[in-house]
Amino acid sequence: MTRFALTLEYDGGPFMGLQRQPHGASVQQAVEEAAFAVLGEQATLHAAGRTDTGVHALAMRAHIDVAKAITPFRLMEALNARLRPNPIAVLACETVPDDWHARFSCIGRRYRYRIVNRRAPLALATGRAWPIARPLAANAMNDAAQVLVGHHDFTTFRSAHCQALSPLKTLDALAVRREGEEVLIEAAARSFLHHQVRSMVGCLALVGQGKWTRADLAVALEARDRAHLGFNAPPDGLYFVAAIYPGENQ
């Protein structure tokens, strides 16, 4: 049995999320079905993250265990051929030790949220960004975001359906910057709660529009109560950017 690490890029729009779902298509199902067509055996996909409906990935790390003899390059090429026309691509494939696990060996995860800040509607970025017509003060958003950096109880920013054992998380970085008409939010942590990034982005958007201040965000955090949340940003603008593992460049 050989363990192959995969790097996946996908558009989350057509899927109910990464994980298999009983009520709709998932990235996991698509990759596992492609693997079965290529290998003639069942292979379970294990991923570094569990993206929700409509959330995208630039470089999701995952792994499958394979009994058939096949090279990483041939496996990658065959999976890509079988995945069409699904908006999923295997960007890289390599063999890894049996004790390497896409989820449990991961020591860091990075997300990016993309806002298009203009009055004109989206044409090319529909489903891949959050359009906000009202001008956003990116500097104020970045200043307020620092309130959330560090070790905190993130109950306010946690989905009611979150299965994590504890709301305590350490947010390593949260940065907001403007690039032309886009406002980009970058978040880094070892792990995140369900909906945590989208919840933080929704509140930062309120700051950017002048409806909240840095102090309001601090009050929401300290409340440890979902009722104090501004709102969740939509999934369209959220991207899983990278998974970090020991010994890899960070």
Residues with active-site annotation: 52
DSSP codes joined into one string, 84-100: TTSSEEEEEEEEE-TT-
Contact 243, 46 (CB under 8 A): no
Residue 12 C-beta-side C-alpha neighbours within 13 Å: 24
Return phi, psi of residue 2, to 5°: -115, 135
Q: Which of 193, 111, 115, 134 is nearest to 159 (CA)?
A: 193
Q: Which helix (H) or strand (E) holds 137?
A: none
In this structure, the chain runs to a length of: 250
